[in-house]
Structure 1
Amino acid sequence: MTTINTYLTFEGNCENAFNFYRTVFGGEFAHVGRFSDMPADPNYPISDEARNQIMHISLPISKECVLMGSDTGGHGGPLTVGNNFSLSITTDSKEKADTFFTQLSAEGKVTMPMDNTFWGDYFGMLTDKFGINWMISFNEASQQG
């Protein structure tokens, strides 16, 4: 099964926003990760200010829908309100993830090629030729349950 969810991006106030969304929709966070949880990478240094900001947070809204988000952490350039979201596709196979990524990135811009990540997903990001941001992921462990 493939799902598409909304991924929101903030400049330092993601945690506040998601605490608000939790009061609206109810439930508990499925995951809260901070930039300080990332392995150190000299190519992407994390400022002291960004270390406690949200790298990834997810709030299940229903069985099929998860609201996700993060702070920019100072990466990716300035945030533009109105374009501070991505559509996040989670697939049930690596092949499907690659197919979606290849097709959506045609004439667009790859911002992070598909690859295995430290959090366990096969993951990539792109902006399609219409300016829409996409995140594509596959998690093999979730398929074995």
Structure 2
Amino acid sequence: MTAPAPETPGVSPYLTVSDANAAIDFYRRAFGAEEVARIPVPGGKKLMHAAVTINGGLVMMSDDFPEYADGRSSTPEALGGSPVTIHLNLADVDAAWHRAVNAGATVTMPLEDQFWGDRFGQLTDPFGHRWSLATHLRDVTPEEIEAAMNANFPE
């Protein structure tokens, strides 16, 4: 029996994690994730596929299977990090931030009001994936952004 496929947006991240069961639990505690699917391999120790919704978006994942990739792990921990950041626009970034940190996320850029008009910060989850969290505070003109860029990033 197969479950109906969830409605998927045009782009959805698909994460490789070292422990998909633990990742689902973390994302539930940190970001209020709701589970959509959990498909274990025979024996049930690893997940071949899983999906959660976070902030209205679909995030899919699976456990790492180096045995099917010439023995190479493809988790961010094995690769020395990830160049990808998953961004969440939130109504209350402070509450979400504290929930994620309390769940075990590591702060990589403190949550602060930024010159581009957002309250913004970055975290790394226990599986090595980077997340940015933000709440829009105010609209900023292109001139204000340029002036702030010149002040914050001198040549």
Same fold (TM over 0.5): no
Instruction: Give the TM-score, by structure 2 length.
Output: 0.35
Please tell me whether Structure 1 or Structure 2 has the larger radius of gyration of its CA atoms: 2
Which is bigger in relative contact order (C-alpha 8 A, separation at least 6)?
Answer: 1
Q: Which structure's residues are more often helix, by fraction?
A: 2
